[in-house]
Amino acid sequence: MTRLDSAIRRLTAQRDLLDWASGIVAPTGFVLELGLGNGRTYDHLRNRLPGREIYVFERRPAAHPSCLPPEGYLVVGDVFETLPAFMADRDARRRCALIHADIGSGDEHLNREVALRLSPLLDQLLQPGGLLLADRGFELPHCADITAETGIAQGRYYVYRRE
Ligand code: SAM
Q: Is the CB of 61 under 6 A from ligand 1?
A: no
Residue 8's pLDDT band (cuts 50, 70, 90): very high
Rounded to whole angstroms, what are the CA distances from 102 to 22, 27, 28, 91, 157? 16, 23, 22, 23, 10
Q: What value of ipTM does the predicted structure carry? A: 0.99
Quote the crossing angle between the two packed helices 108-125 and 79-89, to the nearest 10°.
0
- Per-residue pLDDT of 35-76, as tens digits, reads 999 999 999 999 999 999 999 999 999 999 999 999 999 999
User: Which residue has a Cα nearest atom 6 of ligand 1?
Assistant: 37
Quote the pLDDT of residue 133.
98
41 lines ligand 1 (CB under 6 A): yes
pLDDT per position as a tens digit, 103-129: 988 899 999 999 999 999 999 999 999
Q: What percent of the chain has pLDDT over 90?
A: 97
- In the chain, where the domains are located: 3-162
Taking the mean position of all CA atoms in its chain, how far away is CA 36? 10
Contact call for residues 116 and 139 (beta carbons, < 8 A): yes
Could you tell me which CATH number the domain at 3-162 has?
3.40.50.150
Burial 141-151 (b: 16+ CB within 10 A, else e): eebeeebeebe
Gap between the Cα atoms of 46 and 53, Å rounded:
8
Mean of pLDDT values over 22-39 = 98
Mutate to test the pocket of ligand 1, among 54, 59, 79, 112 (most ligand atoms within 8 A of CB): 59
pLDDT in tens, 143-153: 999 999 999 99
> Does any ligand 1 atom lie closer than 6 A to the CB of residue 103?
yes
Tell me if 33 CB under 6 Å of ligand 1. no
14 lines ligand 1 (CB under 6 A): no
Q: What is the pLDDT of residue 47?
A: 98
Q: Please provide the size of the chain in residues.
A: 163
pLDDT at 92: 94
Nearest CA to ligand 1 atom 20: 103
Segment holding 161, helix H or strand E: strand 158-162
